[in-house]
């Protein structure tokens, strides 16, 4: 069955700030028969950086996956741009890594089944077998890859092989309670999203709800971020908070926190798969 041609494209740009970039991008799209549907830009004046996201219609456009890079490269080189483009037509392939807690996985699967997330999920992966029934109910292949004899390197090698075999473009850690090694992260920069059960940078590391309870905080939060080699220090994509009081127990904080975790993670995944995030200076520019 022939694949339907993509109807739109999304282009993300980061480069040194200069006059005329917006006009040059709009002219390029127009000259190739594209119709600009959406455009947003941001200038980081402190660092002299320019960021832009454009979405354009391809109905009468002569650009496509096969020829875009050649046509675009002269303009990109002239402005020293880093860039990426995505043509609609194929959903982004996403693998979900989980532990034993189901709430984030269940929320992502619900949104996927409801059509909220334009993704394919070829694999759910875990070092535990506890969430296999959830994957089976959703009709998604579950891979149990435990850490045997403390050989985490072998387990991560198996995960990487699986991700490459399935053509995965994005990895989501849906409460996967393992620290990924530098070897695991190599080549996956800004393509692994984590949910941290805390309003980072406060209460990084383990058991943040207990830490929050002992400090008597009045707000608890959740943070979704890209994973880097530094624990809980990657570029932040989305955050949210809820008010709490002295009446809340640790269990109360965990219950309220789980609601935040699942919604904040879903928000971050949505922003990524819609190509709305650029990263610089260990920070994100998120075009909403």
Which tokens belong to 279?
A: 């990263």
Residues near 241 by beta carbon (within 8 Å), at least 6 away in sequence? 199, 219, 220, 221, 260
Residue 52's DSSP bridge partners are 13, 41
Whether the bond between 201 and the residue before it is cis, its omega within 30 degrees of 0, is yes
C-alpha span between 155 and 157 (Å, rounded): 5
Q: Which of 176, 238, 246, 251 is nearest to 217 (CA)?
A: 246
C-alpha span between 72 and 151 (Å, rounded): 46
Say how many Å lie between the first and final Cα of the chain, rounded. Answer: 35
User: Is 275 considered catalytic here?
Assistant: no
Cβ-contact 187, 151 below 8 angstroms: no
- Helices 208-215 and 250-273, packing angle to 10 deg: 130
| E strand or H helix at 51 | strand 49-57
Residue with token string 């991560």:
156
| E strand or H helix at 172 | strand 170-174
- Taking residue 162's Cβ as centre, other Cβ atoms within 10 Å add up to 17
Q: Which of 207, 232, 240, 251 is catalytic?
A: 232
Work out whether the CA dihedral 201, 168, 268, 127 comes out positive or negative: negative
Which positions are annotated as active-site residues? 232
């Amino acid at each position: 069955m022939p694949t339907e041609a993509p109807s739109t494209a999304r282009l993300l740009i980061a480069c040194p700030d200069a006059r005329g970039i917006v006009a040059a991008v709009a002219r390029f799209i127009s000259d190739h028969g594209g119709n600009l549907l959406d455009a947003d830009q941001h200038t980081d004046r402190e660092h002299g950086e320019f960021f832009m996201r454009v979405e354009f219609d391809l109905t009468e456009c002569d650009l496509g996956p096969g020829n875009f890079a050649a046509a675009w490269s002269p303009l990109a080189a002239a402005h020293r741009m880093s860039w990426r483009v995505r043509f609609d037509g194929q959903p982004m392939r996403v693998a979900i890594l989980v532990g034993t807690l189901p709430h984030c996985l269940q929320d992502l699967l619900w949104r996927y089944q409801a059509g909220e997330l334009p993704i394919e999920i070829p694999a759910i992966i875990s070092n535990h077998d506890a969430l296999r029934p959830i994957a089976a109910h959703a009709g998604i292949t579950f891979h149990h890859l435990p850490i045997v004899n403390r050989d985490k390197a072998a387990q991560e090698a198996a995960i990487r092989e699986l991700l490459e075999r399935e053509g995965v473009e994005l990895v989501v850690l849906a409460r996967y309670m393992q620290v990924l090694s530098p070897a695991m992260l190599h080549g996956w920069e800004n393509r692994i999203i984590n949910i941290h059960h805390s309003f980072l940078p406060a209460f990084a590391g383990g058991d943040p709800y207990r830490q929050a309870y002992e400090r008597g905080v009045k707000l608890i939060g959740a943070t979704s971020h890209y994973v880097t080699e530094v624990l809980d220090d990657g570029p932040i994509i989305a955050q949210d908070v809820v008010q709490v009081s002295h009446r809340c127990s640790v269990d109360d904080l965990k219950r309220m926190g789980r609601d935040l975790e699942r919604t904040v993670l879903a928000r971050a995944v949505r922003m990524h798969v819609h190509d709305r995030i650029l990263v610089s200076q260990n920070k994100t520019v998120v075009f909403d």
